[in-house]
Structure formats: structure tokens, C-alpha cells
Amino acid sequence: MTHPTPLPTATASTPEAIPVTNPLRAPEDYRLPRIAGPSVLVIFGVTGDLSRKKLMPAVYDLANRGLLPPGFGLVGFARREWDAQDFAQVVHDAVKQHARTEFKEEVWQQLLEGIRFVRGEFDDDEAFDRLHQTLRELDESRGTGGNHAFYLSIPPDNFETVVSQLKRHGMAEDRQGHWNRVIIEKPFGHDLTSARQLNAVVSQVFPPESVFRIDHYLGKETVQNMLAFRFANQMFEPIWNNNYVSNVQITMAESIGIGGRAGYYDGIGAARDVIQNHLLQLLALTAMEEPNSFEAAQLRAEKQKVLAATRPPADIAAHTARGQYLAGWQGGKQVNGYLDEDGIAPDSITETYAAIRVEIDNRRWAGVPFYLRAAKRMPRRVTEVALQFKPAPHLPFTAAQTAGLGVNSLEMRIQPDEGITMRFGAKVPSTQMEIRDVSMDFNYGGSFTETSPEAYERLILDVLLGDPPLFPLQQEVDLSWQILDPILENWESSGKPEGYAPGTWGPASADAMIGRDGFTWRRP
């Protein structure tokens, strides 16, 4: 079966990816889904939470939607004393518990035929020989065509060992008509130096076009809708600049603590975990210029221009804030403070709240502060991008008439309650002239009957298709660290983070930080 060449999506109106039409080519039938060709997905770190809760359910959901071919294989690699049947049961249980779509026995049986397991350590040559033999067997029995994607759902410290083993055992080189690709999970290093070292390790084995860096936020339907919202609608472009926008606030708040992630989180913190990747990518999509097309090279070029123009604050102490959540009550329950969590050192200075101000030195955004904040133990879970607008230069109303009028804003909600809200002033129904804030809402759930696919569904499918627009290049990773590194270095020499009560919007220093510019934080 011949599959059309995949192209990036133009809209979020259907769960399948919709190709952008090149005006020089014949029109595409938008009803046709993009289906991956014959291929194998190998998951290293298959026993972890990410694999169980996200990756294996995403594979099933793709199969259930008819987006995986009959010639597909799924291989788990781990040191557990499992055989293929044990691994198949693990996949089955993960799918039943976490899959987005309905469980269908016929879909599961088709997927089951391609499931394999390889036991071994990362430095075990015999295990990688078995992996190579397993891939050859799948190529023959399932017709997977020599096309293999290796998902490194493992700590970055193990990347060099695994990619070196893949090269040593002949599983990394592309051959005529066949491909091998590697998928890397964040974090992409812990600073600029380590990120470049990590890239050097991977690039010795895989060429840049075969390296897919996963930032799952870029796979979210609502993040992609930001592009449709900005560039498919003429009405917003005239005000999308420093003539009208006073500030931009990008927030990722979580109501939970670190849970059982102490081993990962301590020493990483909110800025490295979220701001360096998710929030700076949201900034780039918010502030970028219109690309000539949504081809990967065009989209990445515009994002890189924005990140290259983004500057950390000159006075880091005044225009950043960090905190640690304390013990207390949240949602009717008593919760531990960060330093009381299992596995956290009592003198840890890792922040669970991070807020920074950056500016973009270009004509469109000069003088507009962008505030990025990420935190745990907040009052609610929310991720959003909010543009706040300057007040009208003249108001022909009395102060009493506009007492209920706030600032105009445009809020793009990434999660939950995905949608867009516009806030503006309107007259209260009465005989008096009284202006009050009102909202105009677009909600995905109320506007579309289709449910949005999970981010990992979209991203895994794009890897199998070789479609790269949603995957950041190393240049974007480097630019993000260049923005964040000076802030992290300042924090490391500044003592302990300020404490804040659980269920609040963070430390007092964060309010003071934004207050210096004459603004206040949004309370979503």
C-alpha cells in the first residue's frame, strides 16, 4: 500500500492529522488519515511510569484509530525476568487502565501478534544481539520493512551506552529504503554545557534528521491550535504586538506535589523541568512571526528567531522568584512540605515554584515583559497563555462607572478545559452607565464532537511518519538554556527558596517581582 507524503497539520478540527495543502500540488482529501508505514517501536525503560501510563496506551489508541499498519511491532527492552507473554500482559493491563479509546479485542489481538520482549542490561552485548535478532524476525514475520524507532524512556546518563550499543550492533544506520530513528525524552541536559554534550553523544550515532526530541506539550491539540488561532484569523494580527499588549503571562500550575518523583525532581526543580522546555516553547509559538508554511524548516526557523531574541532580566534578583511548598492543608487534606517528602534532603534548595521575566528584543515585542511561572501545590491545575492589553488611551466614563472594569485580555487555555477566553468591558443592563468585565468563551468540548488525541499519540505517529515540525532541534534546546542558565546560576548562590503555603499562588516575592512592573499575576 502506498501512503501519501506526510505534511504538518493546519487545524485541530479532527483527531487525525490533516495535511496542509501546497497550492502548487493537487488538492488533498482532508478526510484521509495519515497512516504509518510498516515499522517497529522499541521502548527502552519499558517498566517505567511513562511507558505504562502514556506510551503503551498511545500505541493501542493509534491502532484502535486505524493509524498503525498491520505490519507493526512493539518491542520492550528491560532487565526484568519476563518473557514475551509477561510483557504482553503488562501492555494489556496498561491499555485497559490508561487507554483513551474503547478496548476492542480484535484490535488487541492484531497488536499482540507484533509484541516482543528482550531482557538485558544496557551494557549487555548479548542482549543487544538478541534485540537485533528480534528486529530481523519482525521484519520477516510481520513485514516491518527494516524501519525501527528507538524510544529512550531512560535517564540521560544511559543515553550514551544505549546509542553506542545500537551502533555497535548495526541497528543505527539507515539503509536504502529503510530508516532507524531515536526518540529522546526531556530533560535535554541540565544546562547548556550538558545539553551540548548529550547532543554530541547522540549525533555520533544518528544524523540530525533521525533524532526526535519529545516535548509532549507540542503534541497537545490546544498548543497546535495556537498556530491556527494566530495565523488563520485576520482579526488578531493588528493587535498582536507592543502597541496594544502590555504583558504576557505563561503559567503552568499543578495542584499536586512531587509525589514519588523525588529521585528525578530533586536537583532539577521547576525551572529546568518545565520552563526550559514547555514554557519557552509556548513563548516561541506565541511570539513568533508567521512562517511561510508549516513545513518543519519554516516553523523551526521562526521559533529560533524568537528564542535568539529573548533575554533574561538584567536584574535577576528583582525580576525572578523561586519558592518551596511548605506543609499545610490543601483541599481538605494535610500535605507534606517539600523538605518532608520521601527522598528529599532536609537542606535541599530545589525550587518547586519558579517565576521569571524575560523580554524579546525585536520590533514586535520590544518593551513587553513576558512572565513565565511554573509551580506545584497551587490552588488548581492549569496551563495557559494570557495576553493582557493596554488600557484605552481615553475613557469617556467616570471612575465610578468603570469601577468594575479590569484589563482586556485574551487567554488560551492549554489544559484543562481547553479553549480560549476573551475578556472585555460591557454595559450592565440598567438605566445607569456601568461597565463591568464579561467573558466570551470558546471551549473545545462544546464546539467539536471529536475528542482530542493524547499528545503522545500524535508524536509517536509523527516519528513513524518521519514528520518533524513538532520536535525541537538542538539549536532550540541551546537557545533555551542560554536564556535560563544565568538565572539558575544566580539562584544557586542565593540561598534557600522562599516558603509558600500549599493551595496558594506562591511566595510573596513573586507578587513583589511582577508588582515592580506595575502588574499583578492572574489567578486563573
Q: Is 132 a known active-site residue? A: no
Q: Is the pLDDT of residue 18 over 50?
A: no
Give the pLDDT score at 19. Answer: 42
Pair 323, 353: CB distance under 8 Å:
yes
DSSP string, 378-409: -SS-EEEEEEEEPPPS---S-TTTTTB----E
Decide if 191 is inside a domain. Answer: no
Q: Are 233 and 152 found together in one domain?
A: no
Q: Is the pLDDT of residue 120 over 70?
A: yes
Quote the CA–CA distance of 210 and 192 in Å, as a whole number. 22
Decide if 407 is inside a domain. Answer: yes
pLDDT more than 70, % of the chain? 92
Q: Are 233 and 156 found together in one domain?
A: no
Q: Write down which residue in 169, 185, 201 finishes a domain.
A: 185
Catalytic residue, chosen from 148, 190, 216, 278, is 278
Contacts for 129 with CB less than 8 Å, ≥ 6 apart = 169
Give the pLDDT score at 377. Answer: 96
pLDDT-based confidence at residue 249 (cuts at 50, 70, 90): very high
Instruction: Quote the DSSP letter at residue 267.
Output: T
Least confident of 431-445, 453-467, 474-488: 431-445
Question: pLDDT tens for residues 326-340?
Answer: 999 998 899 999 999
Q: Are 506 and 388 found together in one domain?
A: yes
Pair 42, 120: CB distance under 8 Å:
no
In Å, how far from its chain's centre is CA 500?
26
- Grid coordinates representing 122 are 544496557
Report the mean per-residue pLDDT for the chain: 87
Give the pLDDT score at 429. Answer: 86
Q: Write down which residue in 185, 210, 245 finishes a domain.
A: 185
Say if strands 72-78 and 39-44 run parallel, antiparallel, or are unpaired.
parallel
Question: pLDDT tens for residues 363-381?
Answer: 999 999 999 999 999 999 9
Decide if 201 is inside a domain. Answer: no
Give the pLDDT score at 495. Answer: 86
In CATH, what number is assigned to the domain containing residue 272? 3.30.360.10
Which range marks the domain in which residue 166 is found?
A: 15-185
Q: Are 174 and 229 found together in one domain?
A: no
Across the range 398-420, mean pLDDT stands at 82
Contacts for 46 with CB less than 8 Å, ≥ 6 apart = 56, 76, 77, 78, 87, 90, 153
Q: Are 163 and 253 found together in one domain?
A: no
Across the range 396-415, mean pLDDT stands at 81
Give the pLDDT score at 10. Answer: 38
Decide if 281 is inside a domain. Answer: yes
Say if strands 115-119 and 211-214 run parallel, antiparallel, or are unpaired.
unpaired
Handedness of CA 433, 434, 437, 439 (dihedral sign): negative
Decide if 521 is inside a domain. Answer: no
Q: Are 372 and 304 found together in one domain?
A: yes
pLDDT-based confidence at residue 126 (cuts at 50, 70, 90): very high
Q: Is the pLDDT of residue 424 over 90?
A: no
Cell 518521519 belongs to which residue? 466
Q: What is the CA radius of gyration of the chain?
A: 24
